[in-house]
Structure 1
Amino acid sequence: MIIVSNTSPITNLAAIGRLNLLQDLYDTILIPEAVNLELTSGGDEIPGSTEVKTLSWIQIQSVSNPNLALSLRQELDAGESEAIALAVELQADLLLLHKPLGYQVASRFGLKIKGVLWVLIFMVKYRGLIPSVKPLLDELIGTADFWITPGLYHRILQLAGE
């Protein structure tokens, strides 16, 4: 499987010490250069920056069509633009994103898109690799400043069977 990630799924999971969930699901996560730069340009203070530099299962791959990424910059930031462009180029099986606008733009290319909340639900409901979503969801909100509406919060717990 080819999995491409934007910055936020990595930073959010790293902030709560659960970046390993991505490795548990997928052998390799590809990130474009712009995502790598977003993660590492601020030093080790950004959650996931150390992991991106040291974990072999997170691999950096350059976008071979910079024109597509550049055109996406009219709507998105550099990381999202390159993540979408890389996913299109590689015909990725999955693109990990967080922001709704990124979802909208990526869906125009027919990409399969999921976010951190889906990863948590999948790990509980379908894989049984974590016992509960609620503690991790609460930690995302409290530690990673992850924003979620109360309605979606309750829907996620419902989907996870909690």
Structure 2
Amino acid sequence: MNIGTTTITVVVTGPTGASKTYTTYISRFSPSSNAALKSVAVNGQNYPINHSTIIGYIAKDVSGANLTITASDSTATVKLNGNVVSNNTISVYLDNKQSNQFTITVTASDGITQMSYNLYVIRDSSQVSGSNTSGSNESNNEAEFGIINSMLIIQT
């Protein structure tokens, strides 16, 4: 069917010769080229999307995370490391490294337009599961730092 509105008219004639006309309108819209992300959350905590990079934090003793990834256009397809994300959520295993990297790919409903994002899930050494995520290491004035995707990341 072509993009636009198609009109289908059906005339039904009964056994007595009486007829009735039914008209149906079917609209087909152009597929979207929107491959942007709306939001990314790690274990329920939303994190900002800076260009194509998202940095999320977890407690140092966590071995897995629940990711909620939402595309700006609900008709887009979202993949995490090549696996389709169903219902905007996916659970991932985190290895023992300080930082785990994931690739999010959003394909617009046009099937052509794609955008890729890097998600870094970083272990917050000052936190353990169930503790307040706003804690810091102020008592000994230590900070951890690293460079991820040309960005300096400092944890205090």
| TM-score category, normalised to shorter length | under 0.3
Please give the TM-score of this superposition, normalised by the length of structure 1: 0.24
Which is helix-richer, 1 or 2?
1
Please give the TM-score of this superposition, normalised by the length of structure 2: 0.25
Which is strand-richer, 1 or 2?
2
Whose relative contact order is higher, 1 or 2, with alpha carbons under 8 Å and at least 6 apart?
Answer: 1
